[in-house]
Chains A and B, each alone.
Chain A
Amino acid sequence: MQHFRSDAIIVRVREYGESDLSVSFMTRDKGLLRGIAKGGRKSSRRFVNCLEPLSLVLMDYHQKAEGKAYFLDSCRLVDSFPGIRENFESLSLASYVIELLELLFPYNVTDPRAFDLAKATLGFISRGADLQKVRILFEGHAMALGGYAIDLNKCAICGRKYTAKGDGVILMEKGKFSCLKCSTPTEKHPLLSPQAISGLRAVQGGAWETLKHLHLSPEDLTQIGHVLKMHVAYRIGKRLKSAKYLQ
């Protein structure tokens, strides 16, 4: 039997059997996991106030054998992100963060940066940061971590290197950039200004800790937000449940 202790973000909690709970949680070292909290519905000591979705906890758990189910032993609340509960917009964005990361980093796909991104984003939301900006920074960064960054280095058609001069077009179906000589902006091929392109570059490639200082004008935010929304829809291929509540 192997015992583990990890920081974990509680993702989903379901009733299981008579007094147990089935818990999905995201850890830094093992990615997304699912475990059983025996007696979790009645426990007032081992899991008190901990098994709440979108909470950060310190979790003790074990696995009887490799490949077998995880069992939760106890939890201690580290951060309940109280600001998330204060309004529906914050709850919706926090839910979206978790839902998108669940899809990009499913069970058995581990990337510690995904956990760090989730933790930092939930913290920003809880502290009342600008939700539109947080969403854009998160989406751009998460998609890049998941291997779906939009290629902004050169035109996908003529191959010319982009030198941060002039508007560009995003070819949604390819997830790539095109210069205005090769493509015309349409509903499916949205236009991006040079400032928005460099902003998106920074969002996709910058260190997450430095992104909160990134200055983006309202126009840049609108353009990047529109592109990322379409990009997520194209790449993920389905509408996320929480996405419809983000407006």
Chain B
Amino acid sequence: MGIYPAPLEVLVDRLASLPGLGPKSAMRIALHILRSNEANVKELVKALLEVKKKIKFCSVCFNITDTDPCNICEDPGRAGHIVCVVESPGDQLAIEEAGAFRGKYHVLHGALSPLDGIGPEDLKIGELMVRIGKDRIEEVILATNPTTQGEATASFIARLLAEKYPQLHVYRIALGVPMGADLKYMDRLTLEHAFKSKTPLKT
């Protein structure tokens, strides 16, 4: 028997199983829920159920959406011939918040990781290949994370694209020194990438 009442322990267990939440934060949230009035808790439960019921994957880009196709895929103001490939909806959201890209997206839902048994068939790579031919895409920007798995995924997709669509322009997002950083504090790998990705200055 635990030191807390059973229903509270169950709630803490459930919350602690969520990504990014440890037992202490889970307990803090559980106690907050306990202190909240019943109407607020019902609203929370309703929101949780609705998100599960209404949110689905866009049939074009596989981003999460409540309409199909999603707002971005339906937006005529966006460049339909440019696709940015990202690993997860969170990555797409980060790019969208930056406002730096006005094309369309394709969400892979993961990265290649043979050690975890994740191969090309587990990602939305086949769908990307079909989409490029169907939607007459001219440019693909591979924006997977600069991790071992993300880099291998980008290389894998780039090779497939080169074989199937040799006329397609394929880019990798630049890797290197972040804005506002100090070179003195950069690690070796970042500096290596920065020098590999050097670009000519336009004067």
Q: Which residues does A use to contact B, with CB under 8 Å?
A: 12, 15, 17-18, 20, 48-49, 52-55, 77, 80, 84-88, 90-92, 95-96, 98-99, 241-242, 244-245
For residue B116, give the distance in angstroms from its CB to the closest CB of chain A: 7
Given A77-B188, A84-B148, A86-B155, check contact A96 B114 (CB 8 Å). Answer: yes
Q: How far is the CB of B150 from chain A (nearest CB, A)?
A: 8
**B114 & A18 in contact (Cβ 8 Å cutoff):** no
| B113-124 Cβ-contact flags toward A at 8 Å (1 or 0) | 111110110000
CB-nearest residue of chain B to A81: B148
Q: State the CA gap A96–B115 with chains docked (Å).
A: 7
Residues of B within 8 A of A (CB): 19-23, 25, 112-117, 119-120, 147-149, 151-152, 155-156, 159, 187-190
Contact call B115/A53, Cβ cutoff below 8 A: yes
Q: Is the CB of A91 within 8 A of B152?
A: yes
Whether the Cβ atoms of A77 and B114 lie closer than 8 Å is: no
| CB neighbours of A242 from chain B (8 A) | 114-115, 117
A-B contact pairs, 26 of them (CB 8 A): A15-B19, A17-B22, A17-B23, A48-B190, A49-B187, A53-B149, A77-B188, A77-B189, A85-B155, A87-B152, A87-B155, A87-B159, A88-B114, A88-B120, A88-B155, A88-B156, A91-B114, A91-B149, A95-B113, A96-B114, A241-B115, A241-B117, A242-B114, A242-B115, A242-B117, A245-B119
Q: How far is the CA of A49 from the CA of B187 in the complex (A)?
A: 8
Residues of A within 8 A of B116 (CB): 241
B156 contact from A20, A87, A96, A244, Cβ within 8 A: A87
Cα–Cα, bound, A80→B117 (Å): 22
Contact A241 B148 (CB under 8 A): no
Q: How many contacts between A and B, using CB within 8 angstroms?
A: 70
B114 touching A52, Cβ below 8 Å: no
User: CA A220 – CA B132 in complex, angstroms?
Assistant: 43
Instruction: Determine if A54 and B20 form an interchain contact, defined as CB atoms under 8 angstroms apart.
Output: no
Knowing A15-B20, A96-B114, A245-B119 are in contact, say whether A49-B152 is a contact too (CB < 8 A). no
Question: Which of B25, B113, B115, B189 meets A49, CB within 8 Å?
Answer: B189
Distance between B87 CB and nearest chain A CB, rounded to angstroms? 15
Residue of A52, A86, A95 near B115 (CB, 8 A) is: A95
A95: B residues at CB distance < 8 A: 113-115
Are A18's CB and B115's CB within 8 A? no
- Give the chain A neighbours of B23 by CB distance below 8 A: 17
Question: In the bound complex, how far is the Cα of B19 from the Cα of A12, in angstroms?
Answer: 17
The residues of B that contact A18 with a CB separation of less than 8 Å are 20-22, 25
User: A137–B149 Cα gap in the complex (Å)?
Assistant: 25
Query: Do the beta carbons of B115 and A99 come within 8 Å of each other?
Result: yes
Contact present for B187 and A85 (CB under 8 Å): no
Known pairs A18-B21, A52-B147, A77-B188; A241 contacts B155 (CB<8 A): no
The answer to whether A85 and B152 touch across the interface, beta carbons within 8 angstroms, is: yes
Knowing A85-B148, A88-B152, say if A98 contacts B115 (CB, 8 Å).
yes
User: Separation in Å of the B25 CB from the closest CB of chain A?
Assistant: 6
Closest to A55 in B: B148
8 A-B pairs with the lowest CB-CB distances in the bound complex, closest first: A17-B22, A241-B117, A85-B151, A242-B114, A95-B114, A95-B115, A91-B152, A88-B156
- Complex Cα gap A87–B115 (Å): 15
Q: A53-B148, A84-B148 are in contact. List 19 more A-B contacts (CB 8 A).
A: A15-B20, A17-B21, A49-B189, A49-B190, A52-B148, A55-B148, A77-B187, A86-B152, A87-B155, A87-B159, A88-B152, A90-B152, A91-B114, A91-B148, A95-B114, A95-B115, A241-B116, A241-B117, A242-B115
A48 neighbours in B (Cβ, 8 Å):
187, 190
Contact residues in B for A85 (Cβ distance below 8 Å): 148, 151-152, 155
Set A49, A52, A91, A241: member contacting B112, Cβ < 8 A: A91
Please determine whether A54 and B148 come into contact, CB atoms closer than 8 angstroms. yes
Which residues on the B side are within 8 Å of A80 (C-beta)?
Answer: 189
B25 proximity list for chain A (CB < 8 A): 18
